Amino acid sequence: MKILAISGSLRQASLNSLLLRAVARLAPAGIEVTLYRGLGELPLFNPDLEADVCTPVADLRRRILQTDALLIASPEYAHGVTGAIKNGLDWMVGNETFVDKPVALLNASPRAVHAQAALRETLCTMSARIIDEACITVPLMGARVDEADIAEHPEMAPR
């Protein structure tokens, strides 16, 4: 099984990206988790450019289509998702990229409820299949942790 992990944060020291790397570290044999690192390279969404899709957008579409499931972790900015993740999702609207694609939402902050709700709304509109039992919050705000520390967190235990 192939899983694509997308962090909505462009920060180098992002807790959401760190959380996704910890998940990749915990993946059992037979499950390959790949962290997508091209979100910041996507141009701003413009429907006029849809027919002439640039390479970063085409690459993201290809990766999503070739994966079995997605993990998305995004911080919350001003009670919403980051512009980076919203822009990436907007480029995927209007095609079959997300139709019935299993998606789990991860969260590094228990206070990011608005971002999670916005992600759910957008993904459901895109016909993604949110896997509720795989959606987790691992409260990492203010913590000085690395991948190994996160992998040991009780929320990361197999379910």
Q: What pTM did the predictor assign?
A: 0.88
Phi, psi of 125 (to 5 degrees): -60, -30
Rounded Cα–Cα distance for residues 14 and 139 (Å): 13
**To the nearest whole number, what is the mean pLDDT of the chain?**
90
Percent of the chain with pLDDT over 70: 91
- Domains of the chain as residue ranges with CATH: 2-156 (3.40.50.360)
- Give mean pLDDT, residues 62-83: 95
Nearest to 20 by CA among 82, 72, 81, 69: 72
Rounded Cα–Cα distance for residues 90 and 122 (Å): 9
Nearest to 33 by CA among 46, 19, 45: 19
- Give mean pLDDT, residues 61-86: 95
Evaluate whether 69 touches 3 at the Cβ level (below 8 Å): yes
Residues 116-125 pLDDT 10s: 999 999 999 9
**3-class DSSP state of 130:** strand
Query: Hey, which of 46-50, 94-98, 105-109, 123-127 has the most confident mean pLDDT?
Result: 123-127
Return the pLDDT at 153. Answer: 64
